[in-house]
Structure 1
């Protein structure tokens, strides 16, 4: 594999000049930079990231900790736009992106501790925030650059990028109530997840404004794969007082609900009204009348990396707190 010494020898330059030229150093003449890059491309030069890490203490790698929802087929479908956004932003900033997947049984704090011991990344993106999330204090105490995808209720400043789940759930419930639904079911994901807590808060606010008490039997907690959504919604529809409206947690929850409606001969948008989160644009191609809230998850992924890169560059800079709103699209 070609190295800096070989490029320097071919061009009769010093290794220092070649190194600076490859970094577009302002002290190197533009023509020299062009010559160095042309030779580097021709001989297939690839920077030695391991050697650079030993010399500088930096890996030029960012790690995103992404828990697997379940081991079910397609369970992580909604993460794809997020990963795409993070990957593109990391590459643009000169970093590699590493995805560290954990299982539902893994301890979140132990997973972060393991990453810190490995010293394999310059900064971390943590997800699936819970109440009083101990990872925030751990990373702040260690002085590790990080950004959270989501919020926790700690009284401490930390950088995050989040989605306004409370407003989305409030809006979904309000729209279902405005359609005449008085039995509105709500899908939540992991109960201890702060995103679920925010969704429940928004839903509860909309129901209170309508003067309708929250019926806990209409609140579903789960991973909401297609199968689990179908099983849960089928039980609700088979009850003595079934729901007439449903706020789905995600696209997979939506597909499970639609499957049950079809099996029971019920029509979405007529017999049962549905509002769903849809970050993959999947719902727009379904032959059913569904209202959707969409979030630019690719944009969320980009923003997570951009905030993290700024924390790495300036650890004492402003603590950024960014909230993405959902966009509502009425069903056709």
Structure 2
């Protein structure tokens, strides 16, 4: 590949003329422009992107900071699907994606500050949002274009895309109640993410709507991961009023629950109904098949890309052809129940008899 100096030297033209021809400026005649473009293609001309970025004041990069921790793979399958949709849609906007992996042991605001202050991206996408998230306050104060993958208590003030957790948990409880379940447990990882608060509130609201009590012993917040799931399974199975159905959000909690049931000679769907809310793909290989509430993660990635583009337009003061200002994206992704073998009617469960074996 050659740069603009070598291209200009090869053509015997000034750098300014070559630059204007490459950028389709009107003060370069058609023959010269064609000559420059043909030579650029033949010789493999590559523009100096960093120089162009400095001149334009933009990098055309969107940075997504992906969480990683001791209980996660480097990038789990949910984020892989989101990233796939995100990068494909960004290309249609003339933008590229840069991914930064967040170390779960590090202060999250410090990691964000380093990426932001380097100026490597025009807009940021942050994930695993907390109810009160200092990263959101920081970006709002800085007036940096950004989108959150997940809501916060300050959602009215910023762009966000999120699965409809409220609808998911309310639909899950309604499904179980329609099957005759009256003791429905909830196991959530003990983490500060805002979506967990949404699930908990939706669970309580849904139980109340169906005339079911919220029983403290059936609502657990163990540590994330398999160990926390095993502890929760032990507590639920030994409870005086053991549930006939359990909702989980952590894939490894579902795995642990299946394991503990198997160790006791019990089986999901026969002795206890298990329903997972938006689990990642590790849970799809469980036998019997897991009943889940699902969403289209790739479509969420595409919506995040549209939201990032809208934030750039918003920051630049751009308007549409009809003079309208850009709209800030605040979008709930639809969810749907995916039936499996892990949920059955309450009257069909052998739970009480199996515990007495």
Q: TM-score, normalization: structure 2?
A: 0.79
Q: What is the match of residue 322 of structure 2?
A: none
Q: What is the match of residue 319 of structure 1?
A: 328
Q: 1:179 Cα shift?
A: 2.0
C-alpha distance in structure 1 between counterparts of 2:313 and 2:65, whole Å: 21
86-95 or 165-174, larger mean C-alpha shift: 86-95
Q: 1:95 Cα shift?
A: 2.6
Q: What is the match of residue 92 of structure 2?
A: 92
Matches within 5 A, 1:115-126: 115-126=115-126
Unaligned residue ranges in structure 2 (runs of 5+): 318-325, 342-357
Q: What is the match of residue 299 of structure 2?
A: 299
Q: 1:284 Cα shift?
A: 5.7
Matches within 5 A, 1:1-332: 1-10=1-10, 15=15, 19=19, 40=40, 43-73=43-73, 76-154=76-154, 156-222=156-222, 224-278=224-278, 286-315=286-315, 316=317, 317-331=326-340
Q: Is the 8 A contact 1:277 1:294 kept in 2?
A: yes
Q: 1:100 Cα shift?
A: 2.2
Secondary structure, in 3 states, of the residue corresponding to 1:125?
strand
C-alpha distance in structure 2 between counterparts of 1:266 and 1:26, whole Å: 77
1:35-56 CA-partner distances (Å, limit 9, x unpaired)? 7666555544444332223322
Q: TM-score, normalization: structure 1?
A: 0.85
Q: 1:149 Cα shift?
A: 1.3
C-alpha distance in structure 1 between counterparts of 2:191 and 2:333, whole Å: 22
Q: 1:16 Cα shift?
A: 5.3
Q: Is the 8 A contact 1:8 1:15 kept in 2?
A: yes
C-alpha distance in structure 1 between counterparts of 2:34 and 2:261, whole Å: 63
Unaligned residue ranges in structure 1 (runs of 5+): none
Q: 1:252 Cα shift?
A: 3.5
Q: Is the 8 A contact 1:279 1:296 kept in 2?
A: no
C-alpha distance in structure 1 between counterparts of 2:287 and 2:151, whole Å: 36
Q: Is the 8 A contact 1:176 1:274 kept in 2?
A: no
Relative to structure 1, the CA distance from residue 55 to residue 175 in structure 2 (aligned partners, 3 Å threshold; closer, same or farther) is: same
Q: 1:86 Cα shift?
A: 1.8
Q: 1:279 Cα shift?
A: 6.0
Q: 1:187 Cα shift?
A: 2.7
Count how many residue pairs are aligned between Structure 1 and Structure 2. 332
